[in-house]
């Protein structure tokens, strides 16, 4: 058996995104490269690579059902004893959502690493090959399994919990709202595909029209992209109470990307008042990831106390 045959096997799940995209004659970028195409762009690595072509979508088009497919595919590779690590090639627009869902639904027994690109494969500054090469290196380090799902991107390695996209045009595109060694493993295994969780933007002077529309549309849960550390106004507090009375949980997050969120303001519509009205305060997760966590909790029929605890400050361990 050759040295290459003895090299560890890394599964590379291709889902589309910029890393798999080229510009057409009309100047529009669309995913067009297969997993095999992408692996051919990677410099020589000390691993055997197993391409898995799952889908070819821009991540802005992903549904919860698509994210569930990605999570299920990761589960298949985690359960394959021949596979030493798993990489997911993914678009950057929804990277934070899919990576958190995988983190929540699986016991991570081997490294699981998400990566992608900011620039298309045919761009003069294409960053996909370097990101993939670094992701392979990260997936080959067995110690990374203890950190949960990771993102390797732009030279950084970040935990899925708290992940958010910082820049729309820089190669170093991601940060973590509050880095932790590993957020508590919740192992929320039930599928989220059939749930509707809406995100409602809060802004100065807003009313509850969009919350009412979400209720009317049959939302299973609502996330508020609130102001500051999780604040709104008295009218929103009334709407949150109405949701609680109907059994529709409302999670209060923030449009502010960095820092721990604390529900300390009153005044009728501050974070303290929203919690008093029945809202669930998200200490760390921003709206996109808060939506995923709420979906996973509801899919698993989690009781109210579990939902409250899950959105609290995660513990490193």
3-state helix, strand, coil in the chain (%, to 5): 35, 20, 45
92 counts as catalytic: no
Instruction: Supply the Cα-derived Rg of the chain in whole angstroms.
Output: 20
Catalytic residue among 15, 18, 120, 138: 18
- Burial class (CB within 10 angstroms; exposed 0-12, middle 13-18, buried 19+) of 274: buried
Distance (Å, whole) CA 132 – CA 135:
5
Q: Which residues of 173-183 are buried (b: 16+ CB within 10 A; e: fewer)?
A: bbbbbbebebb
Half-sphere exposure of 232 (CA within 13 A, CB side): 29
If we measure between CA atoms, which residue out of 198, 187, 168, 177 comes closest to residue 259? 177
Distance (Å, whole) CA 36 – CA 49:
9
CB 253 within 8 A of CB 294: no
Strand stretches in 148-270, DSSP E:
150-153, 156-159, 163-165, 174-176, 197-201, 221-226, 250-254
- Catalytically active residues are 18
């Amino acid at each position: 058996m050759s040295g290459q045959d003895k090299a560890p096997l890394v599964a590379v799940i291709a889902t589309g995104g910029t890393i798999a995209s080229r510009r057409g004659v009309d100047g529009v970028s669309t995913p067009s490269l297969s997993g095999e195409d992408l692996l051919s762009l990677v410099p020589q690595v000390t691993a055997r690579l197993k391409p898995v072509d799952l889908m070819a979508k821009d991540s802005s088009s992903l549904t919860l059902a698509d994210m569930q497919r990605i999570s299920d595919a990761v589960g298949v590779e985690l359960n394959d004893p021949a596979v030493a690590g798993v990489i997911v090639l993914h678009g950057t627009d929804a990277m934070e959502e899919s990576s958190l869902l995988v983190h929540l639904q699986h016991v991570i027994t081997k490294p699981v690493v998400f990566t992608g690109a900011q620039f298309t494969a045919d761009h003069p500054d294409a960053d996909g090959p370097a990101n993939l090469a670094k992701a392979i290196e990260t997936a080959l380090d067995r110690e990374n399994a203890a950190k949960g799902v990771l993102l390797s991107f732009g030279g950084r390695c970040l935990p899925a919990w708290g992940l958010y996209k910082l820049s729309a045009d820089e190669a170093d595109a991601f940060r973590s709202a509050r880095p932790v060694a590993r957020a508590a493993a919740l192992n929320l295994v039930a599928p989220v595909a059939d749930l509707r969780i809406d995100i409602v933007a809060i802004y100065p002077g807003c009313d509850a029209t969009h919350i009412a529309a979400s209720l009317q549309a049959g939302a299973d849960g609502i996330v508020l992209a609130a102001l500051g550390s999780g604040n709104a106004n008295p009218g929103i507090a009334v709407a949150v109470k109405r949701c609680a009375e109907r059994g529709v949980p409302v999670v209060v997050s923030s449009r502010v990307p960095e820092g721990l969120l604390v529900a300390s303001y009153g005044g009728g519509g501050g974070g303290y008042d929203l919690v008093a009205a029945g809202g669930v305060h998200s200490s760390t997760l921003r709206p996109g990831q808060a939506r995923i966590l709420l979906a996973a909790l509801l899919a698993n029929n989690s009781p109210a106390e579990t939902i409250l605890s899950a959105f609290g400050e995660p513990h490193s361990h």
